Structure 1
Amino acid sequence: MTASKQSRPRGSGRGRRVTIADIAGRAGVTSAAVSLAVNGRPGVSDATRARIVAIAEEMQWEPSPAARALAGAPVLTIGMVLARPAEVLGTEAFFGAFVAGLQEVLSRRDYSLQMKIVDSTEAEIDTFRRWLAQRRVDGVVVVDLRQDDPRIPALEELGLPALVIGGPGHHGALPSVYVDDAHATRLLVDHLGERGHRSIARVAGNEDFLHILVRDRAFTERCTELGITPVVQDAGFGTRGAGIATAELLAREDAPHAIIFDSDEMALAGIHVVEEAGLRIPEDIAIASYEDSALTRTHRPPITSIGRSAIEYGRVAAARLLEVIEDSRDGRAASAKTPPESRAIEPVLVVRGSTDPDAPEAEGYLRHSALSEEGSEVRVRQESC
């Protein structure tokens, strides 16, 4: 029995995309008429447009990204290039939450996020150039801002819409959003100082990054102002480096009374070393982290940390980048509504049992500012973290 050859109403063959030519054949019009209709351009009657669009939907047609790029239309893709080892990225709860917030907002506008891991800053810049030349992305998110960052002038020259995650400053004419790491550092140092700690160490991440330099400076300055001995121990990002740095600190004759870690993963690695040394937290040594995640809340004792929603940070960044892209498309250098640089989130300190044995269990209590006018600690019970 011979099967009759009929046109497929919901596609044009296994593994083959439905094209404008397929729609034109079904509608009995030219491909040019279909292009005008599906792109909302004048040149066809309302009735013809409605019929063509209905056929396109029935055939489950989707516009080709390559064709959209050639036509100068948005490709609905945001790019992010990362010069960090996959092993490090895979363990960072903060970064994963940031990307989740970013993607949530982009998805609502039907944008996709394209990520690429490279081994150097030069490779990042080469990727930006290639993406622009090939019309692969509508804009990019720039993370891990550095002092005198070569990516900034390169992107300014390319004219590719970009949003820098980091600051204040050091982002040239590009717009940026950032979290105030200096304020976060003062919150941590003030709290530990008020708890009576006169020697505080900071186990620091990659010193190439601007936010690490900001933390280092603020840490040393605030400790000096309060008469506290500061110790900065470089560890790079990653649990192994944090563990080694903690062991080196504990081996000192003047071992610190408290340690601040640059991430929750680093804090957990350090805590393991502390416990192996037979020290009690917080009785013998206090522990705090710049990041607040489920890891800090579920540890016993729960870890004092900086409260700043990474998901919300990603949402703010995505919304701002979409504004930048729209401004660029409309020929505006920058939106009059939003300054080139803005703080995304105001950090707060969530005090928990790793520094204060009297703090409520996992929820802790919040501290919004540094020393109050009376020099006392400002506490607000945290309802949820």
Structure 2
Amino acid sequence: MSNRRPTIADVAAHAGVSVGAVSFALNGRPGVGEETRQRILDTARELGWQPSHGARSLSTSRAFALGLVLARAPESIGSDPFFPAFIGGVEAVLAPRGQSLVLQVVPDAEAEIAGYRRLGGEGRVDGVFLTDLRCSDPRLSLLTEIGLPAVTLNRPDIESGFPAICLDDRPGIATAVGHLVGLGHTRIAHVAGPTELLHGRGRHEAWTAALDEAGLAPGPVVESDFTAAGGAAATRELLDLAERPTAIVYANDLMAVAGMAVAHERGYVVPNDLSITGFDDMELSAHVHPALTTVRTDPFGWGRAAARVLLDLVEGRDPGDEDVAPGALVIRYSTGSAPG
């Protein structure tokens, strides 16, 4: 039996298509139907065929890789439920097309800028995902300057020449506030994410607007950092107030679960004494006690959409902005009627 590696011609013969059709399917280019594309991908997988990235790069001047640079402590990646799911969605698109994801975790924004320059300057990636958008984000002009294609997660607050994959946080937060108002709560606090991040600021603004629509004054706000430790510290600050809130809307689940633990430590019963809502619906949220009322989003789907649009951009197509479904409130047992 021959031990030679299967070739692209073998894939074409077994799938009953031309070599050109195999190339189109593997590179995600138009020209083959979806059923044919899937048959080609299945055949390549069954034969164990792998593209030669070196040969492909030399012939096309492409890296066949996309980049993601995250400015955060490396140890925090595992505790943040968003990015593993988002990366899973990205890989679900890249892997069948013979593409790679280059991930860099750096300590701060300055190192993040250097990371993008390095990826673009060394030709290691064909495009990048831009996450954690900031107010007047300087990365947009940098990527334009170095000519590196990008897709942004949500729309920037300044002019951008890049397509955006957008999740509107406002309906989810508004529904959470409306749910609490309907339960009789009037002192509704907020543990916010960093206001220099657009999604942190957006969730804060949505909370304020929802209270205003209900005819209620904004309750106390503590800005935190989306971490469990930050959520715990913010909760202690709120529970130390002379007139403590009867409900707290957290900007993510990680802070909400930590806040629930603090409430238990202080002797409060959730939800009898304090109602709590989160945002994201991470897997753990359904299994804490009491199960967390939260806003369900789809980071895996967000990753798939972002990867597909970025590949379209890299391959010369002109994708526009794309909206993913807004979050929906999942009511569980951490919310109840206002005490007294």
For the aligned residues, what is the CA RMSD? 2.4
The alignment status of 1:186 with 2:174, answered yes or no, reads yes
What pairs with 1:112-151 in structure 2 (closer than 5 Å)?
112-151=100-139
- From 212, 231, 251, give the equivalent of 1:262: 251
Q: Give the equivalent residue in structure 2 for 1:376.
A: none
The alignment status of 1:167 with 2:155, answered yes or no, reads yes
Q: Structure 1 residue 9: deviation in Å?
A: 6.4
**Cα deviation 1:180-225 (Å, max 9, x = unaligned):** 0122221111111111110111112222210111111121122122
Q: 1:313 to 1:212 in 2, by over 3 A?
A: same
Q: Separation in 2 of the partners of 1:296 and 1:84?
A: 23
Q: Separation in 1 of the partners of 2:335 and 2:247?
A: 8
SS in structure 2 of the partner of residue 230 of structure 1: coil
Q: Separation in 2 of the partners of 1:321 and 1:181?
A: 22
Counterpart amino acid of 2:265?
E
Q: Give the equivalent residue in structure 1 for 2:201.
A: 213
Counterpart amino acid of 2:99?
Y
- From 262, 277, 294, give the equivalent of 1:288: 277
Q: Separation in 1 of the partners of 2:139 and 2:131?
A: 10
- From 267, 282, 286, give the equivalent of 1:297: 286
Q: Structure 1 residue 171: deviation in Å?
A: 5.8
Q: Structure 1 residue 122: deviation in Å?
A: 3.0
8 Å Cα contact 1:156-1:174 kept in structure 2:
no
Aligned residues between the structures: 296
The alignment status of 1:108 with 2:88, answered yes or no, reads no
- From 148, 158, 164, give the equivalent of 1:176: 164
- From 309, 319, 322, give the equivalent of 1:320: 309
Q: Structure 1 residue 274: deviation in Å?
A: 0.2
8 Å Cα contact 2:203-2:251 kept in structure 1:
no
- From 346, 352, 355, give the equivalent of 2:332: 352
What pairs with 1:3-18 in structure 2 (closer than 5 Å)?
none
Q: Separation in 2 of the partners of 1:243 and 1:183?
A: 26
Higher-RCO chain (CA-CA 8 Å, sequence separation at least 6)? 2
8 Å Cα contact 2:127-2:314 kept in structure 1:
yes
Q: Separation in 1 of the partners of 2:103 and 2:325?
A: 24
Q: Separation in 2 of the partners of 1:205 and 1:89?
A: 17
Q: Separation in 1 of the partners of 2:286 and 2:108?
A: 35
Q: 1:269 to 1:345 in 2, by over 3 A?
A: same
Structure 1 residue runs without a partner (length 5+): 1-7, 12-38, 41-57, 358-385
Structure 2 residue runs without a partner (length 5+): 6-22, 25-46
- From 227, 241, 250, give the equivalent of 2:239: 250
SS in structure 2 of the partner of residue 345 of structure 1: coil
Q: Give the equivalent residue in structure 2 for 1:311.
A: 300
Q: Give the equivalent residue in structure 2 for 1:279.
A: 268
Counterpart amino acid of 2:292?
I
Q: Higher helix proportion, which one? A: 2
Q: Separation in 1 of the partners of 2:109 and 2:56?
A: 30
TM-score of the two chains, using structure 1 as the length reference: 0.71
Q: Structure 1 residue 68: deviation in Å?
A: 4.3
Q: Separation in 1 of the partners of 2:114 and 2:328?
A: 38
Q: Separation in 2 of the partners of 1:314 and 1:144?
A: 14
8 Å Cα contact 2:133-2:156 kept in structure 1:
no
4+ long deviations beyond 6 Å: none
8 Å Cα contact 1:201-1:259 kept in structure 2:
yes
Q: Give the equivalent residue in structure 1 for 2:85.
A: 97
